[in-house]
Structure 1
Amino acid sequence: MRNLKRVLLALLVLLVVSAVLAFVLENQQQVSLLFLGWAGPKLPVSVIAVAALLVGMLMGPLLGWLLRLVKRPSRRRLA
């Protein structure tokens, strides 16, 4: 059973890696983003999409952590 789980995990990782590789190879068109008057450098579409994904993956847990800090009741001792 343990070997089956390892094989399935390896296949899943291989599938994800191959999908990302196919996405990167198929999206090599150079684009420049314009945001609030600032024009970014020309980069492949895949680089911009992967960067946006990584920023989103970092922002979600960070915002969740900050919300937990704000909602946590203070534990002051009343003396």
Structure 2
Amino acid sequence: MKKTILLSTMGFFIATSTVNGQEQQNKKSDYQKIEVSKKEETTLKKSKAVTAKKVTIQKVEAVNRKKLSNSKEATRKEEK
């Protein structure tokens, strides 16, 4: 009788440790997923910032080109 109880309790501990191990593995994979999503989020933010910076530079260049063309037209009118 004692052997049966001992084996059944050992089986219980093995089963619970397996379940706990699986839970820990699931938690670990959840943490990894969170870390990956955070990295993707920061990458997305950085790419958006770079895109915004490029757009701003393009706008500034367009304004500068317009100013330059306006000044050229003004000098042409003065020459006439």
Instruction: Compute the TM-score of the two structures, normalised by the length of structure 2.
Output: 0.39
Q: Larger Cα Rg: Structure 1 or Structure 2?
A: 2
Instruction: Compute the TM-score of the two structures, normalised by the length of structure 1.
Output: 0.40
Higher normalized helix content (fraction of residues): 2
Higher normalized strand content (fraction of residues): 1
Whose relative contact order is higher, 1 or 2, with alpha carbons under 8 Å and at least 6 apart? 1
